[in-house]
Structure 1
Amino acid sequence: MPETSHTPRDLPPAAPPRLRARLASGLRGVALDTRPLAVPVFRRLLIGQGAAYVGTMVTGVTIPVQVYALTRSSLAVGMTGLAGLVPLVVFGLYGGAIADRFDRRALYLASASVTWAVTLALLFQALADLRSVPLVLALVAVQAGSFAVSSAARGAIIPRIVPTPLIPAANTLYFTVGNVGQVAGPLVAGVLISLPNGYCWAYGADAVLFSVLLYSALRLPSIMPTGAGGGAGGLRSVFDGLRFIAAAPVLWMSFAVDIAAMTLAMPTALFPAAAHLRYGGGVGLLHSSIAIGSVAAGLFSGWIGRVRRQGRALAVAVTAWAAAIALAGTVHQLLAAAVLLAAAGAADLVSAVYRETILQTYAPDAMRGRLQGVFTVVVAGGPRLGDLRAGAMASATGLGVAWTGSALLCMVVVIAGALLVRPFWRYTATPAQSQSATSPEAAHQQ
């Protein structure tokens, strides 16, 4: 039988056709599902977001390194998370309400432009050698607000440009590309920061890469919210979204386990101190390791869309994340820590896909912006609280308790919560539960 492009090349030519077809089908079943790339508008959005992720991670590593260099304080590094928390909450919630009333493409483009302007301001303060931590924190706050609005809009856009059955695959592609950026970004940051005027090079690289996202946003079609739910405005609209979540244990528990994971088991604020005191360097590798594991998991993620007990799978994935983080905090060899952080990243990719998919398919389109705003607050605000918690604990108790002890507590909280909230633990995704319909913007848009 002639060999096709889907046939494993290491099989002997005499292998039975049925066996060859079965193995080929099995490989396709676990490999990354790329079918959403057939939608041109999603493909452009993915490329733009991928480039922006690299730049964003370069800045994300550079800011704490710059602050630590100026202060030599893990608590000050943790304050970078606190600085963005209030804008993230306010603009995440209200930005989601705006996304349910107005053109999501216009909102996405405007908020992304503000993020780009903040990157240029970070570049200016580095060029001018202002050495002002309060200025950096203020820019972080503005950046967090604009990021919250753009994330709420983008999350509500994806279900409108991708057919409903492909939403898990689209989210997996999105998170995998993002994690590639999280691998490349810290490594690029490590190289650029080491150069003369390294902070300038790092912030400049982010500004260039982020311009690719602006182009992809310009090419999006107009995407107005559908349904009567988008008509309410102001705080009432925000409260409507919060009430919807409060009445749905599956949704609020999916948020709760993520808050636990990010606040209790997120060690990134400890990386500068750990690299300096424990490993003798390697801050870029520590930041990249989690993303490396996520990328590896994404490449073999074809099975994710076939799992129906998504609540249970989410709880297991978050527990695995916390366990790997806890172990990573006990080792004193950089390579061993990197391997364990990579295992945590693999679990994080799985949990991220299920969180996003549950939200996008559980919510009607008229409320997706608001719910996506809450999602943004949880997903992006959790790590900021985690940075503050880790920095404060490290200053009070030392690196080990702040890293490993807190991650062990996370495991207990997630397991107990998932078992107690039975609707979440028993949640099974079925076509009938998906309230999103394939829109006119989806499939084969040019």
Structure 2
Amino acid sequence: MGHPPGDSVTPTDDRARKRALLPDLAPWRSSRDFRLMWTAGMVTAFGSFLTMVALPLQIKELTSSAFAVGAIGAVELVPLVVFGLYGGALADALDRRKLILLTEAGLGVLAAVLLVNSLLPDPMLWPLYAVAGLTSALVGLQRPAIDAVTARIVPHDQLTAAAALNSIRWQLSAIAGPSLAGVVVAYAGLPFAYGLDLLTFAVSLLLAFGLSPAPPAHDAEKPSLRAIGEGARYAWRRKELLGTYAVDMTAMFFAFPNAIFPFLADDLDAPWALGLMYAAGSVGSVVISLTSGWTSRIHRHGRMVVLGAAVWGLAMAVAGWLGNIWLVLLCLAVAGGGDMVSGLFRATLWNQTIPDRLRGRLAGIELLSYATGPQLGQVRAGTVAGLTGVRAAVWSGGAACVVSVGLLALTLPRLMTYDARTDEHARQVREAAPAPARA
């Protein structure tokens, strides 16, 4: 039977439905600076994944020690936390464009050090750890500036769309980068991988030179412990912001079992699927990002932060119970999708409500939660797996995540009632936002 005339599906309706799902490209069209940052980020991410694969492999080749390879994490964590907090204060006190350029140049120099060391007849071990620590410090200095500048270059009502586009860039890099890096390292060697990383930094630096200046406010406070403390006090007063940090750290602490994936793969009699287990979360994240057109129409961001974290925990809990590898992979993908939903609305809430003069310091605090949550989660997962078994460590962590996130939702009503249309802080930031540079 045909449709009645009033129910006919027109090409316009079909296009509207597609736009409702497809990523919103408005930030790409409206902001030249956003296009430059997005492209530079894609280029440099590929190079970073090359080094992420090559550096541990070189340490393994030099030492044949799993402990020596694992020590990279300890070397990287402390500089990331310390310099992330200080980088947040710098991002509020200096021109953010200059800070991005200087740190990007520094990261390029470190890539050159790795290249030179790999070309020595007998490559040395200590520069590898030194570069790992210094790279982590520079990333800590740079990331708050990158996060803080987004709200300046993207219109206020396009910030969710910008977060989704940035996520697409990151997740595609996370999937393709390590795979391509493995091929490059295997067939072309470590020096070639480090050389490509150096080249990507050169390209991204050239792109970053095209960014518009992003000077600090005229009354910006100099970087200091006092300035960092001011940002922390502001976050403490804003319970909806505090809630986003607490939800993220709780979800990662209880339900981030990546460290025990090799043991879970063995338990499921599927060691061949280990790489798929690591990639499944990113696949789920990409699916959400590629169908994120709906996110710009959501206004109660706090509820979506909680919902996404609860889906993450529930999917992990189910993954721990299941014995079929394909169902486990599906659950991991669903978990990645939930985490992406939570992350998109966390970023939107931050960018739409934090005053520009504090945005760098709050980005530094966010980096602290982002860095420590997964690291502590790895420790929890490994400890519980040793005491109760691998699958029990996965499902119990997921269940604990759901319960804990639910308790946070009950104890942080301002997070659950937040509405971007009526929130005072969002209104103030919206009214104070300068017109970003257009295409």
TM-score, normalised via structure 1 length: 0.86
Indicate the larger mover: 45-54 or 333-342: 333-342
Please tell me whether residue 414 in structure 1 is matched to residue 410 in structure 2: no
Distance in 1 between residues matched to 2:315 and 2:58, nearest whole Å: 28
Equivalent residue, structure 2, for 1:436: 429
From 83, 87, 104, the counterpart of 1:112: 104
Check whether the contact 2:145–2:360 (CA below 8 A) recurs between aligned residues: yes
From 301, 306, 309, the counterpart of 2:297: 306
Alignment of 1:349-368 (within 5 A): 349-368=340-359
- How far did 1:306 drift? 1.3
From 42, 47, 62, the counterpart of 1:50: 42
Distance in 2 between residues matched to 1:242 and 1:291, nearest whole Å: 31
Question: Relative to structure 1, is the Cα distance of residues 323 and 137 closer, same or farther in structure 2, using a 3 angstrom cutoff?
Answer: farther
Question: Relative to structure 1, is the Cα distance of residues 341 and 105 closer, same or farther in structure 2, using a 3 angstrom cutoff?
Answer: same
Alignment of 1:39-438 (within 5 A): 39-63=31-55, 73=66, 79-128=71-120, 130=123, 132=125, 136-195=128-187, 197=189, 199-226=190-217, 228=219, 230-272=220-262, 274=264, 278-331=269-322, 334-394=325-385, 398-430=389-421, 432-434=424-426, 435-437=428-430
**In structure 2, what residue type is equivalent to 1:362?**
T
Question: Relative to structure 1, is the Cα distance of residues 290 and 56 closer, same or farther in structure 2, using a 3 angstrom cutoff?
Answer: farther
Deviation string 1:328-363 (CA, Å, 9 cap, x unpaired) is: 345565544433222222112211111111111111
**In structure 2, what residue type is equivalent to 1:86?**
V
Q: Secondary structure at 2:214's aligned position in 1?
A: coil
Question: Relative to structure 1, is the Cα distance of residues 25 and 237 closer, same or farther in structure 2, using a 3 angstrom cutoff?
Answer: same
Question: Relative to structure 1, is the Cα distance of residues 227 and 164 closer, same or farther in structure 2, using a 3 angstrom cutoff?
Answer: farther
Gaps of 5+ in 1: 1-10
- How far did 1:116 drift? 2.8
Check whether the contact 1:227–1:366 (CA below 8 A) recurs between aligned residues: no
Distance in 1 between residues matched to 2:152 and 2:32, nearest whole Å: 13
**In structure 1, what residue type is equivalent to 2:409?**
A
Distance in 1 between residues matched to 2:327 and 2:99, nearest whole Å: 43
- How far did 1:124 drift? 4.7
Question: Relative to structure 1, is the Cα distance of residues 122 and 280 closer, same or farther in structure 2, using a 3 angstrom cutoff?
Answer: farther
Check whether the contact 1:148–1:377 (CA below 8 A) recurs between aligned residues: no
Equivalent residue, structure 2, for 1:6: none
Q: Secondary structure at 1:185's aligned position in 2?
A: helix
Indicate the larger mover: 280-289 or 163-172: 280-289
Q: How many residues align?
A: 430
Q: Secondary structure at 1:220's aligned position in 2?
A: coil
Distance in 2 between residues matched to 1:400 and 1:138, nearest whole Å: 36
Indicate the larger mover: 274-283 or 79-88: 274-283
Gaps of 5+ in 2: none
Identity %: 32
- How far did 1:76 drift? 6.2
Question: Relative to structure 1, is the Cα distance of residues 288 and 189 closer, same or farther in structure 2, using a 3 angstrom cutoff?
Answer: farther
Check whether the contact 1:81–1:387 (CA below 8 A) recurs between aligned residues: no
Question: Relative to structure 1, is the Cα distance of residues 406 and 211 closer, same or farther in structure 2, using a 3 angstrom cutoff?
Answer: farther
Check whether the contact 1:78–1:269 (CA below 8 A) recurs between aligned residues: no
Distance in 2 between residues matched to 1:141 and 1:94, nearest whole Å: 16
Question: Relative to structure 1, is the Cα distance of residues 358 and 181 closer, same or farther in structure 2, using a 3 angstrom cutoff?
Answer: same
RMSD between superposed Cα atoms in Å: 3.0
